[in-house]
Amino acid sequence: MSSSTYSPIPELNRLKEFEENVYPEAFSDGFELFEYGDVSSLGSDAPTEMRDGLIPFAQANHSGSFYALWRREDRADLATVPVIFCGDEGDLYIAAGNMREFFRLLAVDDADDADDVPARDAYISWLERTFGLTPVEDPAALYDAVLLEHGRAFCDWWLTFDDEDSIIEDLLDELTDLEDAQGARG
């Protein structure tokens, strides 16, 4: 597959090209791009609204979790939509507010996986050279900010096709706690 035709997102095409250049070496633990828009990862019983709203593009780990773009507000530039993590064990969260934030998260160094990602340094160099970006220094703070910005809208969207999903209840509880903490700080 040619990197120029991988997706309609120039940034993601550049990542595909980088991945092809370092293959088979990993640059982020468990991460690997797969066929852009392959909705089979959503499952055969996924509602049409979910299939229309999420664009799967990469595996997140070696056990079935994946990343998808959330088509928010019909934005034409898909590099500006949130990136959603869909876990193989039922986890669901907003990983990043846009593609470039997501790229920065992929560069975060976890000492536990250093041996599993021999191309991480090459990725960090590529990220800076290509986009002028560096790894996220505080992933938890980024996660909180992204959840506050997009969480309510994402949960509302999800609930339009699944109103009894405990995954969303957990995400809503987390969001409410964050909003309460933010309100308490004034």
The rounded distance, in Å, linking the Cα atoms of 172 and 65 is: 21
Q: How confident is the model at residue 3 (pLDDT cuts 50, 70, 90)?
A: very low
- Across 40-78, b (16+ Cβ under 10 Å) vs e yields ebbeeebeeebeebbbbbbbbeeeebbbbbbebeeeeeb
Q: In this predicted model, what pLDDT tens digit does every residue of 149-173 receive, in sequence order?
A: 999 999 999 888 876 667 788 889 9
pLDDT in tens, 38-61: 999 888 888 888 899 999 999 999
Decide: residue 12, CB within 10 A, 0-12 exposed, 13-18 middle, 19+ buried. buried
Confidence of residue 2 (pLDDT cuts 50, 70, 90): very low
pTM listed for this prediction: 0.92
Q: How far apart are CA 181 and CA 93, in angstroms?
A: 19
* pLDDT score, position 45: 86
What pLDDT, on the 0 to 100 scale, is given for residue 112? 63
Q: Give residue-wise pLDDT tens across range 103-122.
A: 999 999 776 666 678 999 99
Q: How far apart are CA 101 and CA 82, in angstroms?
A: 9
- Contact by Cβ (8 Å): 71, 78: yes
For residue 60, which of 91, 32, 34 has the smallest C-alpha distance?
A: 32
User: Mapping DSSP to helix (H, G, I), strand (E, B) and coil, where does residue 82 land?
Assistant: coil
The answer to whether residues 34 and 57 touch, using CB atoms and an 8 Å cutoff, is: yes
pLDDT digits (tens, 9 = 90+) for 73-102: 888 899 999 999 999 888 899 999 999 999
Nearest Cα residue to 7 out of 87, 98, 105, 77: 77
Per-residue confidence (pLDDT) for residue 116, from 0 to 100: 79
